[in-house]
Amino acid sequence: MQRGVTKATLKPYRTMVLERMARNADSRAWELMDKRWQALVSDAQARVAAYEAGAARPRQNITAAREIIRLADEVEPREVVVTVAAMVLMQAEAPHWFTSDRAFDAQLVRRVRGLTPSNAPAYRDPKSGKVRRAYRELSPRATLVMAEWLRITLGVLGQRVAMLQRLEREAEAKDEAALADALMSLS
């Protein structure tokens, strides 16, 4: 029942995050968010290494950890940070878009995994001769694990941007109301 979040759908929210980053270019927050991503990648690598050394781990955790490692190998940290922040911002700004929290989690993971072409291998359609992409889905449990890690690690940026956007809209509404009151009092 959940509509997919496409790149085009997410673009305005990415733009809001990037504009906020540009307005605060000298902030340490961006570097710290990149470090949080690197910490998540290190944790994922440790989980996979322990599993390969024989430690028992839930399968969904290892699948999610391998996806995190694949992302880290193929995508710039800032791109992952911006995408997660944009998705969290989208959830805050347009909650009607998502049918549930689980639907949001699934779309978050799809958008982040969509940053790397290895998650959507290409094949040639024999009927049309066109090159098509086949998106490989994770198991629902692995999706939930990966989404939780992404939300906990990087979601704070999206929440902060959402709060700042709301405060700016409220300030603009107060200014417009004050102007309307002033205009109404003219005789």
pLDDT digits (tens, 9 = 90+) for 153-187: 999 999 999 999 999 989 999 999 999 888 898 87
* Nearest alpha-carbon partner for 135 in 146, 148, 122, 154: 122
What pLDDT does residue 136 have?
79
d(CA 104, CA 87): 8
Residue 122 dihedral angles phi and psi, to the nearest 5°? -95, 150
- In percent, how much of the chain has pLDDT > 90? 76
Q: Please tell me whether the overall predicted TM-score, pTM, comes out greater than 0.75 for this model.
A: yes
pLDDT, one tens digit per residue, over 77-90 is 999 999 999 999 99
Mean pLDDT of 107-135: 83
Give the chain as a 3 state SS string: CCCCCCHHHHHHHHHHHHHHHHHCCCCCHHHHHHHHHHHHHHHHHHHHHHHHCCCCCCHHHHHHHHHHHHHHHHCCHHHHHHHHHHHHHHHHHCHHHCCCHHHHHHHHHHHHHCCCHHHCCEEECCCCCCEEECCCCCCHHHHHHHHHHHHHHHHHHHHHHHHHHHHHHHHHHHHHHHHHHHHHCCC
- pLDDT tens per residue, range 5-17: 889 999 999 999 9
* Per-residue pLDDT, 122: 74
Bridge partner list, 124: 131
| Domain boundaries of the chain, sorted by first residue | 7-120+134-184
Residue 103 · residue 3 · CB < 8 Å: no
- Please return the burial class of 153, using the count of CB atoms within 10 Å of its CB with bins 0-12, 13-18 and 19+: buried
Beta carbons within 10 angstroms of residue 81's beta carbon: 23
**Could you tell me which residues are beta bridge partners of residue 123?**
132
- pLDDT, tens digit, 9 for 90 and up, residues 51-80: 999 999 999 999 999 999 999 999 999 999
Give residue 132's pLDDT. 77
The CA distance from 24 to 35, in Å, is 18
